[in-house]
Amino acid sequence: MKLLTCCSFKGGAGKTTALMGLCAAYASSGRRVALFEADNNRPLTRWKDNALRSNAWDPRCEIFVADEMSLLEAAYEGAERQGFDYALADTQGGSSELNNTIIASSNFLLIPIMLTPLDIDEALSTYRYVIELLMGENLVIPTAVLRQRVPVGRLTTSLRAISDMLASLPLVQCPMYERDAFAAMKERGMLHLTLDNLRTEPMMRLVERNLSIAMEELVTLSKLLDLALEG
């Protein structure tokens, strides 16, 4: 089982969106995905509740509450025992022993970031914290920055300047664009199943096309992360 962790000690950076998107991408290819919820606000649990109401939850996926050390250990052991292919972990806000344990146990670390000055500062703080933790523990774990809510069209001058600032960091080459499909996942449920549900409604072809593009981007992102894991 491969453990991928989304790290951000600031709320609203896009951790949950990234986890939901990756979960849908892996599930759509037949993989079993465990979601470790260390965030005390339980956004993934709410997402599952919404998805079940919309008939858009994939039974190949399951959420494990992991907001305490004992629960994290039980979640990892249970997910491995049940044969999940991937575990996707959310982290708590701020630094904590639990976050440190999740980070140190991961096979890949993903730091989501939105292209605003405040988010840049917070993401750089998280990145520095993660790298210092890994160095202190003498660990080598692939770590990359995932750009979130990137405009689909041309970047403004300010956004281009912020993007240039990130060029020195390891970046996932496929960002998550600013699409309604991504923004609405929390309410609609898993993207691949939302897409399947729409295909039965002829009047929703335009929406279906937009969701198809978003889903293709998520699959590309998941394949890039798989290559990083294999490498």
CATH number at residue 110: 3.40.50.300
Structure-block tokens of residue 13: 């950076």
Asked if residue 91 lies in contact with residue 6, where contact means CB atoms within 8 angstroms, the answer is yes
Amino acid identity at 92: Q
Q: Say what the alpha-carbon torsion angle 192, 195, 196, 198 is, to the nearest 10 degrees.
A: 160
The whole domain housing 179 covers 2-230
Please give the pLDDT value at position 152.
86
The mean per-residue pLDDT over the stretch 78-84 comes to 96
pLDDT higher at 191 or 118 = 191
Q: Tell me the per-residue pLDDT of 163-193, one tens digit each, with 9 for 90 and over.
A: 888 888 898 988 999 998 898 899 999 999 9
Rounded mean pLDDT of the chain?
89
CA–CA gap between residue 13 and residue 55 (Å, rounded): 27
Please give the pLDDT value at position 203.
60
- Residues facing residue 114 across a β-bridge: 148
Residue 204 has pLDDT above 70, yes or no: no
User: How many domains does the chain divide into?
Assistant: 1
CA–CA gap between residue 11 and residue 122 (Å, rounded): 10
Please give the pLDDT value at position 156.
82
CA–CA gap between residue 196 and residue 51 (Å, rounded): 13
The mean per-residue pLDDT over the stretch 110-128 comes to 85
Residue 46 has pLDDT above 70, yes or no: yes
Residue 26 has pLDDT above 80, yes or no: yes
Least confident of 2-6, 11-15, 43-47, 185-189: 11-15
Residue with tokens 């300010």: 158
Q: Tell me the per-residue pLDDT of 49-73, one tens digit each, with 9 for 90 and over.
A: 999 999 999 999 999 999 999 999 9
Residue with tokens 């997910």: 79
CA–CA gap between residue 75 and residue 164 (Å, rounded): 39
Can you say whether the dihedral through the CA atoms of 30, 88, 130, 141 is positive or negative? negative
Residue 129 has pLDDT above 70, yes or no: yes
The mean per-residue pLDDT over the stretch 2-9 comes to 90
Enter the pTM of the model.
0.91
Q: Residue 94 burial by CB count (10 A; 0-12/13-18/19+): exposed, middle or buried?
A: exposed
